[in-house]
Chain A
Amino acid sequence: MSDNLASLPALRVNGISKSYGVSRALVDVSFDILRGRVHALVGENGAGKSTLVKIITGIIQADSGQIFVGSNPVRFQTPIEARTAGIGAVYQDPKLFAHLDVAENIFMGAYPTTIAGTVDRKTMYERAALGLRQLGLDLDPRSLIAGLSVAELQFVEIARALLADLQLLILDEPTSALTPAESERLFKIIRTLRDRDKSVLLITHRLEEVEAIADDITILRDGRHVATRPAKQINRAALVQMMVGRPIETLFARRQSEGLGKEILRVERLGLVGQFTDVSFSLRAGEIVGMAGLVGAGRSEIAQSLFGIRPPSTGRVYLNGRHVVPRGPNQMLRLGLAYLPEDRDGQGLILPESIVDNVTLPIVGRLAHMGILNRASERQVAAGATATYDVKATSIEQPVSSLSGGNRQKVAFAKWLATKPTALILDEPTHGIDIGSKAQVHRIIIDLADSGLGVLLISSDLPELLAVSDRILVIAEGRLVSEFSRGEATQEKVMMAATQDVRGLAE
């Protein structure tokens, strides 16, 4: 296995950096992926894993740095180019054609053809069947995509990736929707690839998987490269430590709360088929409850379910003591529950509209006289909010799209708070905004709680959660797995709880 040729890495990442405005997604990341090795890429949410993969496969371009395939420097502009060079990726959202069958999906864009130029179906089905069999799949290449299970879709994507002569297969959280048996099948495929001297880059948060199958591990943290080691040399604790280890900013430590008020929100055994199950917690006035967990664990789904976006299938919700059945945002807002979406620009704000229009949208009805807009009141509210939250803008009439991320977030805050809620759910409120605005947002959250609101804070920023929350709930794969009080919570503990394997837990 080790001779001069094999010592050339399959892929070398050298000094890759990428920024989006003020936020730096990747900073000078360098490491090698060796041939014939399974390489795991781990890190918290926002560590930069997805960004790195997108750069490698050509979906986005790095600001600086170089990528080498073998000894050749490359710069891919499209995924097709990466594919041609032997690098293919399989993502979580299937990019498949629902109306076509498996074989066509595998070969789309690269059909085997006859002399007449027609699609050589016979060859296509044979090769597809062969490829699928080699993956250990008992799947008829003629079956329609629409009828397949999630696992099978994933395998079809992998089959498609393997179709080209791949040197490096990148898998982005491949087992998140698979059963243990299906995951095992996937691992078998990965091992087969390794035996054939191909490389696999596996992005996963399942640390037990990393332990099971990875040969090398690279840890990213806050966009920086922390370490790349052979898996044998690291244990779980060390791994977690490297993923989160950073000084906690004690700048915004919350002063001890005066005392908590009555219970505003109580959730009992809440569940939504396919998203989360058996979630129970409560929220009191003046309390800030943090909700930690990995991307896809189900935190946003829980919050949105409470807000009525996708009403829960089981469980009960009590708001201000009364039992409610969430049916839609309109209803929940009126009952006093507000939700600030994670997708700030897409779901939280209407970018082309002005600050006034955005801030007052949920309450236009309340401010209006008999259906007629009350522009004076609206401007008053908006001006007040802009001052309170220190939104840096020249005028309240300017479009929100012209504001910085931090200021936009403040406008979003102003909007939801204008509805005078009793309970406020914040979904990644400081995601992608600058440090200064982050501090301001923390201040706002603390002040809100002090004034009697109950706040549920969903965040992937562990220091933030630890600094601001009174309690931290940890969600892993749709279940509430842990709860930590202020005193006992540490970054490592929270991350350990967030990355545990819940599949062994009882139904």
Chain B
Amino acid sequence: MSVLAEKTTPAVAVPRRSFSEFALRLRVSGVLAFLFITGLIFSLLTPQFLTVQNASAIASNAAILSIVAAAQAIVLLTRNVDVSVGSMMGLTAYLTADYAARHPNVGAELVLLALVIGLVLGTINGLLVAYGRVSSLIATLATMSLYRGFTYMYAHGQEVTSNKLPRWMLHSVDLRFWGIPMLVVICILVVTLVATFLRHYPIGRRIYAVGSNPLASVFYGLRIQRVVLLAYGLGGLLCGFAGLLYAARVGTVTVILASGWEMSSLAAAVIGGVSVTGGSGTVIGAALGALVLATIDNGLVLLGIPEFWRMFIQGSSIVAAAAVDVFIGVRIRKALQGQRFARRAA
């Protein structure tokens, strides 16, 4: 290639791997490292931790959360938040379980029902935020209550017990694929699908772009509103699916199913490296974050530490992760702004 002859040596050597890039890549490996260390600590503290059975339990617990964390991650990527994820799960779970109870011969269309309900709920969020210009916290705070309230109203205080649910539903989550719980397999599949979508499809890349630089997105004609609507819709879809899985797993669907999952999903996502300021992070990271949370939970249980420490840890980790992300973000911004007279000034 003759172009090599054209190449002029730069006046100043340009760092190929700058700190920011390093730091970004570090985040994912950081999660893994954290996971490893946590696992190590717990295995030292209690003998029951390091067993296949226990690992399987952790994975199962993490599985559903990882899907919800992925949903949260998608929304976070666009610089928004969704605190209604738990309520979306709950409403979907109840509606589908109730439907199944009334139609005992229902087949796989139950899954479709869950997806559709989730999609609708998520789209409502998206419409409020993207087109109603409502701040995402307030909008999803409102829908969180609305959806949960609807669940209550619909249920009239009844719960759907497991004997009313179709057997295939309950059994499928207990299946094992070469020893790995079906639940985990499903979740790995789903997360992989979502990750592929975000990474390899132009619409997925636009989700990153919108969160990374909304101003530039306008300039590039990226139609921010549609992208945000899509993000919320997709998130709702995933939450709906997660709700169904959760119903299948616990068997008895109550009206308070999945309350509090907004905090967990957020914690999982930010621990996994998804930035609250948008534009960076992966759903794989969010899934890993779910795994971290599940590991911590498990360890706490085994050690007999009360459950509410978990809330404390989750909350603190959100703050800590936000701090780390802002730190990295500042570096990125500084690098982008550049310096006017970088090599001349004092």
Contact = CB atoms under 8 A, between A and B. Distances in A.
Interface of A: 78-80, 94-100, 104, 108-109, 111, 113, 117-119, 121, 133-134, 136, 138, 140, 143-153, 176-177, 179-182, 184-185, 188, 271-278, 296, 298, 313-314, 477-478, 502-503, 507
Contact of B279 (A78, A98, A176, A477): A98
A271 B344 CA distance: 11
Contacts of B18: 146-148
Q: Which of A100, A180, A278 has the most CB atoms of chain B within a 10 A radius of its CB?
A: A100
B332 A109 contact: no
A114 B1 CA distance: 27
Contacts of B280: 99
B66 to A, nearest CB: 22
B345 A275 contact: yes
B344 A502 contact: yes
Nearest to B11: A181
Given A100-B208, A118-B201, A119-B200, A145 B336 contact: yes
B128 interface: no
A99 B208 contact: yes
B341 interface: yes
Contacts of B202: 111, 113, 117, 119
Contact of A136 (B6, B332, B346): B6
A184 B20 CA distance: 28
A67 B88 CA distance: 53
The 8 A-B pairs of least Cβ separation, nearest first, read A150-B338, A274-B339, A147-B18, A271-B346, A181-B11, A95-B216, A277-B346, A146-B20
B7 interface: yes
A274 B201 contact: no
A97 B21 contact: no
Contacts, number: 161
B332 A146 contact: yes
A133 B16 contact: no
Contacts of B215: 95
Interface of B: 1, 3, 6-8, 10-12, 14-21, 24, 200-202, 205-206, 208-209, 212-213, 215-216, 219-222, 279-280, 331-333, 335-336, 338-346
B333 A100 contact: no
Given A133-B1, A276-B341, A507-B344, 8 more contacts: A79-B219, A95-B216, A97-B216, A108-B205, A119-B201, A179-B11, A188-B6, A273-B346
Nearest to B14: A149
A146 B339 contact: no
A298 B345 CA distance: 11
A274 B346 CA distance: 7
A181 B345 CA distance: 17
Given A78-B221, A147-B18, A273 B339 contact: yes
Contact of A185 (B8, B15, B216): B8
12 contacts: A78-B221, A95-B215, A96-B213, A104-B205, A108-B222, A119-B200, A146-B21, A151-B10, A180-B11, A272-B346, A274-B340, A477-B341
Nearest to A93: B337
Contact of A98 (B16, B219, B333): B333
B21 A136 contact: no
A182 B342 CA distance: 13
A140 B279 CA distance: 21
Contact of B341 (A108, A177, A184): A177
A111 B339 CA distance: 31
A271 B206 CA distance: 41
Contacts of B208: 97, 99-100
Contacts of B339: 150, 177, 273-275
Q: Which of A117, A147, A503 has the most CB atoms of chain B within a 10 A radius of its CB?
A: A147
Contacts of B17: 147
Contacts of A181: 8, 10-11
Nearest to B219: A95
Nearest to A185: B8
Contact of A149 (B19, B20, B209, B338): B338
A97 B336 CA distance: 9
Nearest to A132: B3
Contacts of A108: 205-206, 209, 220, 222
A100 B198 CA distance: 13
A108 B280 CA distance: 16
A138 B7 contact: yes
A201 B342 CA distance: 26
Contacts of B212: 97-100
Nearest to A120: B200
A212 to B, nearest CB: 16
B340 A176 contact: yes
Nearest to B202: A111
Contact of B8 (A98, A136, A152, A273): A136
B17 to A, nearest CB: 7
A180 B341 CA distance: 12
A476 B333 CA distance: 26
Contacts of A96: 213, 216, 336
A100 B199 CA distance: 11
Contacts of A136: 3, 6-8
A409 B7 CA distance: 52
A152 B24 CA distance: 20
A152 B346 contact: no
A144 B346 contact: no
Contacts of A147: 15-21, 335
B341 A478 contact: yes
Q: Which of A97, A148, A153, A478 has the most CB atoms of chain B within a 10 A radius of its CB?
A: A97
A478 B340 contact: yes
Contacts of B219: 79, 95
A133 B3 contact: yes
Contacts of A78: 221
B345 A271 contact: yes
B11 A100 contact: no
B20 A144 contact: yes
Contacts of A146: 18, 20-21, 24, 331-332, 335-336
B174 to A, nearest CB: 35
A275 B216 contact: no
Contacts of B20: 144, 146-147
A395 to B, nearest CB: 33
Given A147-B16, A152-B14, A181-B10, A275 B341 contact: yes
A274 B17 CA distance: 22
A275 B16 contact: no
Q: Which of B21, B342, B343, B345 has the most CB atoms of chain A within a 10 A radius of its CB?
A: B345
Nearest to A149: B14
A119 B201 CA distance: 5
A119 B345 contact: no
Given A100-B212, A147-B15, A182-B10, A477 B344 contact: yes
Contacts of A273: 339, 345-346
Nearest to B345: A277
Nearest to A313: B346
Nearest to B220: A109
A96 B7 CA distance: 25
A133 B3 CA distance: 7
Contacts of A150: 338-339, 342
A271 to B, nearest CB: 3
A97 B11 contact: no
B334 to A, nearest CB: 10
A99 B332 CA distance: 8
